[in-house]
Amino acid sequence: MGRVHLVGGEKGGVGKSVLARLLVQYWIDRAVEFEAFDTDRSHGALLRHYPGYATWIDVDRMEALDRIVDAVDEGAEEVVVDLAAQTERVLNEWIDAGEVLALLERLGHSVWYWYVVDDGKDSVRLLSALLDRLPESVTLVCVRNQGRADEFRLFDESKLSARIAARRGFEIELPNLHAGSMQKIDAYDKSFWAAIHNVDPSEGPCLTRMERERAKIAIRRAHRAFRQLLDPRLDGGNEG
């Protein structure tokens, strides 16, 4: 059945939208039927870079959030929701009011929570609070964003890894994509694939040959980590 993927981190600037965009590109590359929702109230990156695939939803309206359940119930194999900073409270209210997690479980769908962290104190504190309240039925994936931290000393000292393992969650690393390349990709306002393959300066910033190669390698590594979690039966096969 379907899977709902909530991409969060609660604080801004940890790389939630980059992860959401990489997930969307992963499913596009594999011709998987999916729907994507952007909850950013002002300038959603997922909506900008994947306008043909992503839709904005107003997290302040429960009937708008209901579209998440509708999407997976109507046949989408994967549904990704890019959660803007400070949206957990309203999301939790929606989940509690409709007992959404229990409903999805009865319908045979699963929920994955991808939590993106840097090595700041806020990330550690917010993830600890999430672990206190997140039901065991939700698959937690802690994503260490190497583009936001060189090391994760505070995270390691917090012993959160043991708590994640105890609930059979996962930890992955999001590879660091060269800052100059990422700036050009973001400025292009199109998909990762389009940005990497653009050679027309009139269309937008062009990556150099080596920038393209580094971007391809970083994306391939991220997608390999996704495949090991989402499609373990394919692990060891050809790179996507």
Q: What's the rounded mean pLDDT across residues 70-76?
A: 95
Looking at residue 147, its pLDDT comes to 87
Burial 27-42 (b: 16+ CB within 10 A, else e): bbebeeebbbbbbbee
Contacts 24+ apart (CB under 8 A), 25-29: 25/191, 25/192, 25/193, 25/219, 25/223, 26/222, 26/223, 26/226, 26/227, 26/230, 26/240, 27/77, 27/78, 28/53, 28/191, 28/193, 29/193, 29/223, 29/240
pTM, whole model, 2 decimals? 0.94
What are the tens digits of pLDDT across the range 104-125?
A: 999 999 999 999 998 889 999 9
What is the DSSP annotation of 161-184? HHHHHHTT-EEEEEPPP-HHHHHH
- The answer to whether residue 234 scores a pLDDT higher than 80 is no
pLDDT tens, 170-206? 999 999 988 889 999 999 999 999 999 999 999 999 9
